[in-house]
Amino acid sequence: MDPINTHPLYRIHNIDSVMSSLWDFYKKKFLVLFIASFVISLGIQLISLNFNFAELQTMSDPMAILEKVKDFIVPMILMSLLSLIFSVILQYYVIYNPLDANVTIFSSIYMSLKYMLPYLVILILFAIFGSFAIMLGLLAIIIGVFFAIIYLMMIFMFILPILMVEGNNIANAISRTIKLAHKGFWSNMGWVAVFVLILIVISVFASAIIALPFTGSFLKMISNPEEAGNLVNYMYNPVFIILSALVNALTFPLPAIFAAILYFNGKAREDGGQIISQQNNEPPKVTVEDLYAKPLPEEKKENL
């Protein structure tokens, strides 16, 4: 296995290199990431068939609704576990495949198992901490809540890469996560905010495309609540299920790649890594000082 600092995402980033590195890595590994994500997304979509939202819309008794919602607990747990397990597998593949050609998406399944339990424990602790952060954010209304959510997402992004690269010690992973996340705090926050915004735009646009064959018009679905309600009835349509899985597969790998970029940027800064242009063997950029002649040493002045 090659050293970790030879990973294509290991460098000191700026906002331009974050997005370009994300896109380049995504394109290079697209087929593997897309097929694996499609299989998992299809499984999640099939499990979601247990949610009969159409029946809920016809119910008016609060107690009956509560009883019906209880039936959703097991499918929700299964969907969450499936998503959690695949996220760990995907993160392992993103980090170690570029360093070792023997690491495939299939070998990542069993090689990532040792990180499952520590990751789950940290997530539980993270959920407790997150609930307090959001409650504090509510005190500042909208801006505070948005800041708290972005902050929690930033912390969350560092957890898995640190576990996989620096060892699955829970205490060390927590301390390293806090340290790296707060090193370059504002740039990390800004990048996460931009990434979340991009994901939201892609999701909304993709959802609109999926809805077109069933509603005829996205604007019609927005303006007419009945049309949006009828979309629930199409959730059991095989075409809708496949289209939803395909769209989810497009975005599923992105958080894992972005998390790796955040971690490797923090790690490169900590290690005193070179700047981007030097790592890419690009010629150094011309500065203002380079346009002026440098003063001669005193010895040469005297000789003149």
User: What are the tens digits of pLDDT across the range 153-165?
Assistant: 999 999 999 999 9
Task: Read off the pLDDT of residues 178-207 as tens digits, 9 standing for 90 and up.
Answer: 999 988 888 999 999 999 999 888 888 887
| Portion of the chain with pLDDT greater than 90, in percent | 30
What is the C-alpha separation between 63 and 184, in angstroms, rounded? Answer: 50
- Kindly tell me the sign of the dihedral angle through the C-alpha atoms of 13, 274, 152, 48: positive
Contact call for residues 158 and 262 (beta carbons, < 8 A): yes
pLDDT at residue 279 in the model: 44
Q: Give the containing element (helix H, strand E) for 165.
A: helix 141-166
What is the C-alpha separation between 39 and 180, in angstroms, rounded? Answer: 33
Compute CA distances 167 → 65, 199, 278, whole Å.
45, 30, 30
pLDDT at residue 139 in the model: 58
CA 215 to chain centre: 30
Task: Read off the pLDDT of residues 44-72 as tens digits, 9 standing for 90 and up.
Answer: 888 887 776 666 666 666 776 677 677 77
Task: Read off the pLDDT of residues 235-286 as tens digits, 9 standing for 90 and up.
Answer: 677 777 888 888 888 889 999 999 999 999 999 988 875 444 444 444 444 4
pTM equals 0.78
* Number of residues that this document lists for the chain: 304
What is the C-alpha separation between 14 and 17, in angstroms, rounded? Answer: 5
Residue 15, CA atoms < 13 Å, CB-side half-sphere: 10
